[in-house]
Structures are given as C-alpha cells and as structure tokens.
Amino acid sequence: MKRKSSEKIKKEKKKREKLSVVLKNNWLMLKKIAKMTPEYIFFTLLMSVIWGLGNAASGYFTYAVLNEFDLPAPSFTKVVIYLALMVTWLLIQNGTSAWYFEYYQTIVDKKLQHKMHSELFAQALAMDLACYDDPKFYNDYVFAMDESKNRATQVMNDVGTVFRQLITLSALVALLSQVDPLVALLMGLSCLVSVILSNITNRFYFKKNERTKPFHRKNSYINRIYHLADHSKELRIGKADENLQTIYTESVEGIVAEEVKVGKQTFLLAIANDVVIYLAQFAPALILLFGLYDGSVKLGGYVAALSLMWELRWGIYEMMQTFIRFPENARYIGKYIHFMDYKPKIVGGDRKAEPMETLELRNLRFAYGNSEDTKAQYSLDGVSITIRKGEKIAIVGYNGAGKTTLTKLLMRLYDPTDGEILYNGHPLKEYDIPSLRSHIGAVFQDYKIFAATVGENVMGGAVSPEDRETVIDALGKSTFSDRLAGMEKGIDTALTREFSDEGVNLSGGEAQKVAIARIFARPYDLIIMDEPSSALDPEAEYQLNHTLLSYAEDKTMIFISHRLSTTRMADRILMFEKGRLIEEGSHETLMERNGKYAEMFRLQAEKYRIETQ
C-alpha cells in the first residue's frame, strides 16, 4: 500500500515538473520575443482583443436579431441598428486584420527571424569544434536552427489565440447559458476529451520527429551532394553513387518505418477523436430540438442558439488545441534552450596577446572524444617542442600521425587532454582567444572559398578602399596575378555561382592561391600552412615557396607537407608517427641519421625519378 502511495506521489511530482517545464519554456520564448521585437507582442494582443470582441459581437448581434423576431411586435428599427453595428464592426475587424496579416506580420516575422538566426549563428561560432563530433548535440543544433523562429511565431500566435478566445467564449457562454446550460456543459466536456486525445497524438508525432531527424539529415546531405558541383566529378567517375543511393534508400525506409509505427499508434486515436466531435455536434442540437418541441425554446432562440453553439464549440476546441500546443512548443523550445545555454569549454582569459616570441609545448597529449581508455586512442602523445620567433618549422609524417591535430591545438580550436602550451612563457588559456588568433594566420588543408568576391574572400569580410591594394598585393604574392588579370571585374569578381550566374568557379590550384593570399593580407606573427601547395603545379609551388620565405623572413612559420621537397627550406623538420615526435632536425641532419624521414624522402624521390623518366 505504501509502495502505491509512493509511486503515486512520484507520478504527481513528475506531472508538476512537466507542467513547470512547459510554462517555463513558453515563458522564456515570450521573453525572447519581447526582447527582440516588443512591438510584435503588443500588436498580436491588440489584434486578439479586436477579434475577440468581434466574434463576441457577432454572436450577440445574431442572438439579438433573431430574438427580436420572436417578439409579438418586432422592431424593424432595432433590427436595422443591430445589422448596421454588426457590419461596421466587421469592417473594422477585417480592415485591421488585413493590415496585420498582409503587411505587418510579414515584416516583423522576418525581423524576428533575422535576430534569432543571428543569435544562433553567434552561438554556433562560439561552440567548441568538438561539438561537431557529437551527433546528438549536432542534431539539437539542427533542431534549433530549423524550429526556433517557427516555434517563436507559434507561441506568439497561441498566446494571441488564448486571449482572443477568452474574450469570445466568456460572451458566448453567457448567451448560450440563457438558452440551455446543459448544452454548454456537454460541449465543454467533448472538447476536453478531444484535447486529451490530441495531446497524446502530438506526443507520438514529437517522438517520431526526434527519431527521424538523423534520417532527414542524411537525406539533406545527399541532396546537397547531388546539387552542388563539389562532388560532381567523383559521382560520375567513381561508384560513390551506389553507396549514396543505398544510404538514401535506408534513410527513406527508416522514415517510412517510423511513419508506419506512429500511424498505427494514432489511427485509433483519430477515430475516437472523430466520434467525440460528431457526438458533440449531434447531442446539443438534439437537446435544443426537444426544447423547441415542448415550447421552452422559441424558433428564433433555437436558430440563434445553434449558431452560438457551433461558434462556442469551435472556440473551446481551438483554445484547447492551443493549450495542448504549449507542451508541444515546450519540447521544441527545450532543444533551442539547450543549444543556446551551451557554455563553451574552450574559454579565453583576460590577457591580450602580444607579438609571438616563443611557443612551447610541454608533454602534450590529446585524444578526440573519450580519452580515458587506451594509449592507442591518443592522436598526440607526449609531444614537447619549443618554437622561437622567425623559425621555419616543417611537420611531416604519414596520414594519422597527428600533424593537423597539433595545429588545431596551437590555434585553440581544441584544448589538450594533458600537458600544456605556453605562448611567450604564459599558458595559452590565459589569453583572450580573439586576441590570440589575431596573431595567427592559417591556410587549412580543407580550405573553403565562400560565395563572395575575390577581395572579400581574401580579407574575410568587406573590402574598404584602403584594403584594395593590400588584396591585390596579397594575390600577387600567392601567384594569382595572371588569373586576376583575366577577370573583368578584378577583385570585385564574384566567386562560385551560388548567388550569381556571372560568378567564377576556380580550379583547385586557383582556389588554393586565393586561400593562401589570406595570410599575406594581414600582419600575422605565426603562419600555419597545412598542405599549402597540394593543388599547385611544381612551378607554382616553387614560386610560392620563395615568396613565402621572403615574406615570412621575420615571422614564425609552421607548415605541414606531404611533398618533402618543400621541407628543405625549413630550419627544423619534425617527424611524427602515431602521435609521437620521433625525429627532429634539419633536412641534412635527418638524412644523415638515415631514419624514418630519410626513408620517406628517398621513397618520394625515387617515385618522382620514375615518373619523370
């Protein structure tokens, strides 16, 4: 007996907690709207009052006119006045509605969307890079981006509906109760049952949407692959199409399976709901018909009551449906709140970064994901290096050696699992992150060209008149001048055809030169080049290397390269294998040691000799 009592208490507590979450989440979204677009709330509530009074007035005028005809000597003047007032109010109501829905709401909706998405973009930018490695968190991000504005609008509309219907229903209930209180009671009960059934159905649909989100993500990814040019050649030459079609088919089958599952669950609920609705329409009409038969209800009152009854039932049903949307909204808003409440683990200190003098790595260890398992999981393991101002450091090794991971740690895109990185003798964590990164220029192996002008791609934003010469000079240093000379609009040429049919699609080597130009456009102290010449031909590579050496004479440069011919220009070469630093020294020194580096260099030299014979 005690167990049942305890379980009952737990269930009641859980319900209260759920109600608390529903109220909290919807309230937080309202506060968000009030902060971003306070006028939206004001005009929505104003329209709710106008519509609520309009619906109540319509019911009252209908009831008053028909009751007037039930009198032994109906007043024609009164009827005309009632009708004139009703038409006047309808004109006011419809005029304000046209202004609100056709003009105002479309503007404020876009304004709200812009502010919410800007906030989401800022949060996405503040997220740790590791978040993209977590599928669940990434799904929440997609949920937040897809649903945030829609749910904000839905909450606003639902609040407006509640206000409107409270005004309408209070008037209609008062009028209908004068005809037959039992009719109002039956309609209220039927709406309550219908709401409960609809709430259960909505829960099933929410869970289904949650389960199918990963499938939709896969479908979206495959859709992008087929309509963007990035993968067009591989799709036509290789067999990736077969695998993608398999993934697409499996995703569709997964979505269909979930739809079937939910369909079976909601089928009987839909039938039960329809039965409740039809009974609610039939029973009150029958009660009123008996009243008309025994003379307790007049013909005018009967017709007016039928009209009021349908309006009342629809009003109660709409308000109840609105109430059950609040829990549904809360579930989606919860995803949004969870994403927006995320606090980055990689946070900066107050120290402003000064020009780089030294960069020291002490016993650095790093593992993606869970680092508590085995040593084999470490991408970097026990790495200790000191890099001084002006040094040219080449990092080499086979794929998976930890080269790119090391550069990510230097830029604080990730933090080490163990060990420490010191910048000018101070822990990297003490520095303000934007300040620190302002001293670091990087060209990534998977560099990206944006749908913007050549100049904007180089500067990473708008190009001021003062920047134009800087952009042209940077492109010259990256050996892009010849290609730029053939562009009619010069640095104002749009890249990609994402937004413009006149946009230019660059070759891989040309795009890489634009990406490389970014490091020449700003006065960085530390330059990181991850495979900087992978898409360049040997002549362009040779020119670039000499330009880099000249430009970076007093700068520190770290470059990763699989082409060991480029490592000769380095002051030091760091050879990595399975996350560990296994060799260090100049090219000549490492060749004399005849170790892993020498073996790798000779293999590449032999391959090049055979290819050029």
What pLDDT does 373 receive? 47
Q: How confident is the model at residue 105 (pLDDT cuts 50, 70, 90)?
A: confident
- Is the pLDDT reported for residue 94 higher than 70? yes
Residues 6 or more apart whose Cβ sits within 8 Å of residue 311: 55, 58, 59, 168, 172
pLDDT digits (tens, 9 = 90+) for 353-402: 999 999 999 999 998 875 444 444 788 999 999 999 999 999 998 888 88
pLDDT at residue 171 tops 80: no
Highest mean pLDDT among 117-121, 430-434, 564-568: 430-434
Mean pLDDT of the chain: 80
| Structural domains present in the chain | 15-180+297-340 (no CATH), 355-439+524-613 (3.40.50.300), 447-523 (3.40.50.300)
pLDDT digits (tens, 9 = 90+) for 70-81: 777 778 888 888
Residues 6+ apart with CB under 8 A from 564: 396, 597, 600, 601, 604
Question: Which pLDDT belongs to residue 294?
Answer: 64
Give 574-585 pLDDT, tens digit per residue: 999 988 999 999
pLDDT of residue 291: 64
> In what helix (H) or strand (E) does residue 545 lie, and over which residues does it extend?
helix 538-551
What's the rounded mean pLDDT across residues 211-235?
75
Look at residue 447 and tell me whether its pLDDT is greater than 70: yes
CA-CA distance, 316 to 337, in Å (whole number)? Answer: 31
- As a whole number, mean pLDDT of residues 286-308 equals 64
The confidence score (pLDDT) of residue 535 equals 59
The fraction of the chain above a pLDDT of 70, given in percent, is: 81
Q: What is the mean pLDDT of the segment spanning 319-345? A: 82
Which of these ranges, 470-479, 487-496, 557-566, has the smallest mean pLDDT? Answer: 557-566
Measured in whole angstroms, the distance separating CA 487 from the mean position of its chain's CA atoms is 36
Q: How far apart are CA 332 and CA 26, in angstroms?
A: 10
Determine whether 547 is exposed, middle or buried from the number of CB atoms within 10 Å of its CB (0-12, 13-18, 19+): middle
Is residue 1 scored above 80 in pLDDT? no
DSSP 8-state symbol, 415: -
Task: Give the pLDDT of residue 66.
Answer: 73
Bigger pLDDT: 222 vs 594: 594
Structure confidence by residue, pLDDT tens digits, 279-291: 766 766 666 666 6
- pLDDT range class, residue 102, cuts 50, 70, 90: confident
Give the highest mean pLDDT range of 210-214, 318-322, 374-378, 406-410. 406-410
Lowest mean pLDDT among 358-367, 387-396, 458-467, 500-509: 500-509
Using CA atoms, how far apart are residues 33 and 112, in angstroms rounded to an integer? 7
User: Which range has the worst mean pLDDT, 17-26, 308-317, 502-511?
Assistant: 308-317
Neighbours of 77 (CB within 10 A): 8
How far lies 165's CA from each of 50, 178, 369, 436, 438, in Å? Answer: 11, 20, 52, 56, 56
pLDDT of 253 > 80? The answer is yes
Per-residue model confidence (pLDDT) at position 477:
87
- Residue 444: per-residue pLDDT: 83
Alpha helix positions (H), 180-231: 181-227
What's the pLDDT band for 471 if we cut at 50, 70, 90? Answer: very high
Residue 239 has pLDDT above 70, yes or no: no
Q: Is the pLDDT of residue 611 over 50?
A: no
Yes or no: say if 209 and 259 are a contact pair by the CB < 8 Å rule: no
What average pLDDT does this structure show over 43-71?
79
What pLDDT, on a 0 to 100 scale, did the predictor assign at position 353? 92
Question: pLDDT: is 189 or 126 the higher one?
Answer: 126
Q: Which residue has the higher pLDDT, 217 or 466?
A: 466
The per-residue pLDDT for 146 is 76
Angstrom distance (rounded) from CA 406 to CA 534 = 19
436: tokens are 């620190």
| Residue 430: band (very low, low, confident or very high) from pLDDT cuts 50, 70, 90 | very high
36-50, 258-272, 286-300: the lowest-pLDDT one: 286-300
pLDDT value of residue 523: 87
State residue 2's pLDDT score. Answer: 47
pLDDT of residue 551: 77
Q: Which segment of 165-169, 393-397, 466-470 scores lowest on mean pLDDT?
A: 165-169
Q: Let me know if 429 is exposed, middle or buried by CB neighbors in 10 A (0-12, 13-18, 19+).
A: middle
**Which range, 59-63, 276-280, 329-333, 354-358, has the best average confidence (pLDDT)?**
354-358
Across 202-212, average pLDDT: 79
Q: How far apart are CA 283 and CA 186, in angstroms?
A: 8
Task: Over range 16-30, report the average pLDDT.
Answer: 81
pLDDT at 376: 47
Backbone region of residue 400 per phi and psi (left: phi > 0; alpha: psi in -120 to 50; beta: other values): left
Please report the pLDDT score of residue 301 as a whole number.
59
Whether the model pTM is above 0.85: no
